[in-house]
Amino acid sequence: MADLAEIGVIGGSGFYSLLDDVREIKVDTPYGPPSDSVFLADVAGRGVAFLPRHGRRHTIPPHRVNYRANVWALRSLGVKAVISPCAAGSLQRHVEPGHFVVADQFVDRTSGRADTFFDGPIVTHVSSAEIYDPVLRRIALDVIREHGITAHDGGTVVVIQGPRFSTKAESKWFSDAGWEVINMTQYPEAYLCRELGMAVVNISLITDYDAGVLEGTEAVTAHDVLAVFEQNATRIREVVLDMVGRMPADLDALGAAAALGPTRGDGHAASPDDIRLFRTWG
């Protein structure tokens, strides 16, 4: 099982729908079922695991996604690097609908989500200072631009609880803070990937201006978001599949798993014989 995939993609069902020899498997986790089956395929000679974040029919709202089960399922299959595209709103005028943002930071404005694997008894503190992998971010930027899409190098995604959209006051607050993107799923998804030693990269597909960004702009609706996202579906699919072919041959060299080494709170009492969670997989 550990060698079934090395790269994971968390997104919609469109990423694998046109691939040959896709195999659907169900993965059990200690945290309950993931959002859907995992779909395995070979892309450019690399084993890839695709997981629909909201289920293949988009039936799971963002605040109800079982993020821990999703991330655990991918890691248990051997995944070491995750591509995490998402629909997002713009908080800045220069970030226009149709643009892609390769985020480098997030701000968590969610509440009540199960957001860690480390509930004890070993106290563990994983840094999220640089949450998104710089090597994967550079690959994403290069591929996006080669496809003729406007890409923003870096940006902060503020993650709101959902399923409601922001008020104009909230939107203006986020915009005035200088954040670029607003979304409902990057936290805790991206952070959980890092807790299990997987490198992660986000591509935010800008579908609209958030409510308080442009004076006179009508409030966004779910239909607006889905319409623009569908227009981008083919473009992001091509970008993601091309990215897989550019991934480093040695994904361990990205250092995501190695970064977990100093995270154990009782490190002063650690023994070489102790077994950490992230060392139980290949």
User: pLDDT tens across 65-78, in order?
Assistant: 999 999 999 999 99
pLDDT at 211 over 70: yes
Percentage with pLDDT > 90 across the chain = 76
* Active-site residue, 210 included: yes
Supply the CATH number for residue 192's domain: 3.40.50.1580
- DSSP structural state of residue 124: B
186 conformational bin, left if phi > 0, alpha if psi -120 to 50, beta if neither? alpha
- The yes-or-no verdict on residue 159 having pLDDT over 60 is yes
pLDDT at 245: 96
Torsion of CA 162, 165, 170, 175, to 10 degrees: 100
The answer as to whether 23 is a domain residue is yes
Going by pLDDT thresholds of 50, 70 and 90, the confidence category of residue 280 is confident
Residue 282's pLDDT is 58
Element (H, E) at 232: helix 222-246
pLDDT tens per residue, range 101-157: 999 999 999 999 999 999 988 899 999 999 999 999 999 999 999 999 999 999 999
Q: Give mean pLDDT, residues 240-250.
A: 97
User: Given a cut of 50, is residue 169 above it in pLDDT?
Assistant: yes
- What count of other Cβ atoms lies within 10 Å of the Cβ of residue 61? 11
Q: Give the chain's domain count.
A: 1
- Dist. CA 46–CA 9, nearest whole Å: 12
Q: Is residue 231 part of a domain?
A: yes
Contacting residues for 172 by C-beta, under 8 A, at least 6 apart:
212, 213
- Give me the sign of the Cα torsion angle 264, 268, 269, 271: positive
Each residue's pLDDT tens digit, 20-50 = 889 999 999 999 999 999 999 999 999 999 9
Quick check: helix, strand or coil at residue 50?
strand
For residue 215, what are the domain limits?
A: 7-253
Question: Are residues 212 and 170 in contact, defined by beta-carbon separation less than 8 angstroms?
Answer: yes
Q: What pLDDT shows up at residue 230?
A: 67
**Selected residue with higher pLDDT from 14 and 20:** 20
Which residue type occupies 71?
V
Q: How many other C-beta atoms lie within 10 A of the C-beta of residue 204?
A: 26
Q: Which helix (H) or strand (E) holds 87?
A: strand 81-90
Which parts of 32-133 fold into alpha helices (H)?
Answer: 67-76
Within 8 A by CB and 6+ apart from 145, the residues are 151
CA 151 to chain centroid: 17
Residue 224's pLDDT band, with cuts at 50, 70 and 90, is low
- On whether residue 157 sits in a domain, the answer given is yes
Q: What is the mean pLDDT of residues 208-234?
A: 69
Residue 267 in domain = no
Q: The pTM is what?
A: 0.93
What's the confidence (pLDDT) of residue 1? 41
Structure tokens at 276: 């950490």
pLDDT range class, residue 220, cuts 50, 70, 90: low
**The one catalytic residue among 115, 210, 224, 242:** 210
In a domain, 262, yes or no: no
Residue 220 and residue 97: Cα distance in Å, rounded?
A: 12
Those residues whose C-beta lies under 8 Å from the C-beta of residue 280, and which sit 6 or more positions away, are none
Instruction: Enumerate the β-bridge partners of residue 108.
Output: 159
* pLDDT tens string 181-207: 999 999 999 999 999 999 999 999 999
DSSP 8-state symbol, 6: S
Distance CA 40, CA 23 (A): 5
pLDDT of residue 76: 95
**pLDDT score, position 171:** 94
Choose, from 208, 224, 252, 274, the residue flagged as catalytic.
Answer: 208
Does 276 reside within a domain? Answer: no
Decide if 271 is inside a domain. Answer: no
pLDDT band (50, 70, 90) for residue 2 = very low
Residue 263 lies in a domain: no
